[in-house]
Structure 1
């Protein structure tokens, strides 16, 4: 033989390219390649050290019954002698389920992990995703951001009482007190024009709110009483405003007790919840807050409110044993609208306390 593939010499040396082979030093395929074989047998390629397997990418030996299942995917580690050590990633061809650290998916879960799952901190909260939710870590704490934008801090969630009335059971997000627990007087209390009322509300989990609600004993609505004007807001424990109804007083507020299904006698008396919208919804993080409410214009007899009857200089709302006192019910005179902050030292408690709630 004097020549091979156009080469001729006494001693002929061929490269991998001369015979269309992949060199052992590496190269690039420009098309698909396959490891073909029959079902029911492993097919694999590996990453080796000194000729001994360390990692294998496999089609396993599970038989194919003809329904799209079998021949599942595995990424496995190997011992120093090349024997099987563990399967790190498993993919079921039939169900599309993925498992880490096991080859047995849990129920119909799309993803299963055998062991704990760690989540590293993110620098910013993820954006809301319609139709889904994010689980993430920030400052070492676990959060869930739901598709509607609500953020739940998991260490703040508490298991509340079961089969009992909660604010959510009646359409609220939180309230200052369960009105059913209050021994209310026969008649409501007329408001004091220009007085800002505060009702303490305790938030135990991130909660999105867009309204401050007052329990009215009589309010016929702005259509009947057009001169009435209102301001509402929410303040944190430090006295800083976190939400408010705006710089212009509210002048279009629906009458109380007109919700569909309300008994006629209640509708006619205009008693019930009156919702005052905030200018922008806010998500309150766990902590103590005050809902604030002020009737800035109108007549005192335009609106009566149900109340905790306790008009005294020192009422039970001062009962606490915290490093910093938190008065659950109070009022401040002489404020214009909803200032950016309030001085807690100016709070007074010699009044009949207003019942408030927060709603979406």
Structure 2
């Protein structure tokens, strides 16, 4: 900040493109020499470089050109504009009298080539609306008779003697970047650089001795720039072939890269033979032949009726083993009956079937019929909603099957499962009679109800008689010994 004893003028400016976009660049203001202010014990020197901000504006506070006691006196500032997109910036002179504390370049900078290359300063004002006089006009009014150019030249006096060096003041803040002063060590108005100046090879070095090789239109070094071959001369033939020789596998007695042999050629079975008819069995992850590749039991035992013969995938037993006529009704409302069904091979199951032998009451007396499938750990894997409508109301000789569709098909792995039956009626024997075997708890030991390896019971029933649906899971502790072995199938 300048001492208060030095009068200053604030200079502003704003630069925009014709489209209104802010320009970038600098405005440099230079005094003709160092300025000495004896009364303030200050020497000012160097240019003032103002960087345009994001709005294209700048502000600079400068000593007035008519400051009292200043040495030298009678001079003007040189303003140089270096703006982006404007190759040749303007340079003009600027007087900043102290009586005009604020100057905007838009008011004083010359734009008309016919105007003199200096900036007028405010003179005595006339009547309202009259323009003030410029410094040149003031000089003419005071007897000066030269041209404007002479007037400007008269403002620049001889260089004064260099005064003693004053004490170094504190370093000021880092200013904006200045204009280029030198290029690769060259300082001139128009700098021309050579290849040596930038550490490059001259263009004349291409293809010249001691230079660099050039590439032909094919992107390769021409033969003229390659050394002569050595070691006995050029090759005359290859494998008895001359001219443009192209070797292949046959020319050198080798098999081609794409040569292959089939499984039959090496005495092996193709991979497509795994699990295919006429091929070999493919073992599963457990190292065993999958059930799908084993012959069906019905094929092994001709004359035996199997579930497939009735359109099922698995059942509890052959219906011929059912000797109770007309069957047994699951008449205890709220008791769930489980029927063990072995599934020999994995299958997708979409329905559960029971066999209805007849009714004591019409179907309208049946209030609920729920069917489902549990795995061997008594976890439910499928269940129907109330399927009363799937039970037939009429009775014919030998009964009839009652298939009940599952809401969605379920994929089951080979293993043992339970079919769950929960049928409720409004009165005694108001539910259908279902096909059942003549097994009873009183006539057969409990061991006969359990399979040897899976631990699955052939028949179970819940102790509870108040169930209203199929629970998500059951346990053997929920069960009691079944008194009736119902028939059921899945398919």
TM-score (norm 2): 0.42
> Are residues 1:353 and 2:485 paired?
yes
Contact 1:296 1:337 (8 Å CA) reproduced: no
Q: How far did residue 249 of structure 1 move?
A: 2.3
Structure 2 gap ranges (5+): 1-217, 235-243, 275-280
Q: How far did residue 116 of structure 1 move?
A: 6.2
Instruction: Identify, as 1 or 2, the structure richer in helix.
Output: 2
Contact 2:371 2:419 (8 Å CA) reproduced: yes
Q: Which residue of 2 aligns with 1:307?
A: 436
Q: Relative CO higher for 1 or 2, CA cutoff 8 Å, sep ≥ 6?
A: 1
Change (3 A) 1:199 1:46: farther
Contact 2:366 2:431 (8 Å CA) reproduced: no
> Are residues 1:215 and 2:358 paired?
no
Change (3 A) 1:356 1:323: closer
Change (3 A) 1:164 1:308: closer
Instruction: Pick from 247, 250, 253 the counterpart of residue 390 of structure 2.
Output: 253
Contact 1:219 1:271 (8 Å CA) reproduced: no
Q: Which residue of 2 aligns with 1:318?
A: 447
RMSD: 4.3
Change (3 A) 1:256 1:170: farther
Q: Distance in 1 between matches of 2:475 and 2:255?
A: 68
| Superimposed CA distance per residue, residues 107-145 of structure 1 (whole angstroms, 9 cap, x where no aligned partner) | xxxxxx93263999xxxxxxxxxxxxxx9876355898x
Q: How far did residue 56 of structure 1 move?
A: 6.0
Change (3 A) 1:292 1:321: closer
Structure 1 gap ranges (5+): 15-20, 25-44, 58-74, 77-87, 90-99, 104-112, 121-134, 145-151, 258-265
> How do 1:322-337 residues align onto structure 2 when only pairs under 5 Å count?
322=452, 325-334=455-464, 335-337=467-469
Contact 1:235 1:242 (8 Å CA) reproduced: yes
> Are residues 1:243 and 2:382 paired?
yes
Q: Which residue of 1 aligns with 2:269?
A: 115
Q: How far did residue 168 of structure 1 move?
A: 0.6
> What secondary structure sits across from 1:139 in the alignment?
coil
Q: How far did residue 102 of structure 1 move?
A: 3.2
Q: Which residue of 2 aligns with 1:101?
A: 264
Contact 1:194 1:297 (8 Å CA) reproduced: no
Q: Distance in 1 between matches of 2:379 and 2:463?
A: 17
Q: Which residue of 1 aligns with 2:368?
A: 229
> Are residues 1:341 and 2:341 paired?
no
Q: Distance in 2 between matches of 1:221 and 1:205?
A: 39
Instruction: Pick from 380, 390, 403 the counterpart of residue 275 of structure 1.
Output: 403
Contact 1:157 1:205 (8 Å CA) reproduced: no
Q: Which residue of 2 aligns with 1:185?
A: 324
Q: How far did residue 350 of structure 1 move?
A: 4.3
Q: How far did residue 358 of structure 1 move?
A: 0.9
Q: How far did residue 237 of structure 1 move?
A: 1.1
Q: How far did residue 12 of structure 1 move?
A: 8.9
Instruction: Identify, as 1 or 2, the structure richer in strand.
Output: 1
> What secondary structure sits across from 1:169 in the alignment?
helix
Q: How far did residue 220 of structure 1 move?
A: 9.6
Q: Distance in 2 between matches of 1:181 and 1:244?
A: 27
> What secondary structure sits across from 2:430 in the alignment?
helix
TM-score (norm 1): 0.55
The count of corresponding residues between Structure 1 and Structure 2 is 247
Q: Distance in 1 between matches of 2:459 and 2:273?
A: 41
Q: Distance in 1 between matches of 2:481 and 2:250?
A: 76
Q: Which residue of 2 aligns with 1:139?
A: 285
Q: Which residue of 2 aligns with 1:293?
A: 421
Contact 1:315 1:350 (8 Å CA) reproduced: no
Q: Which residue of 2 aligns with 1:167?
A: 307
Q: Distance in 2 between matches of 1:238 and 1:357?
A: 19
Change (3 A) 1:324 1:114: closer
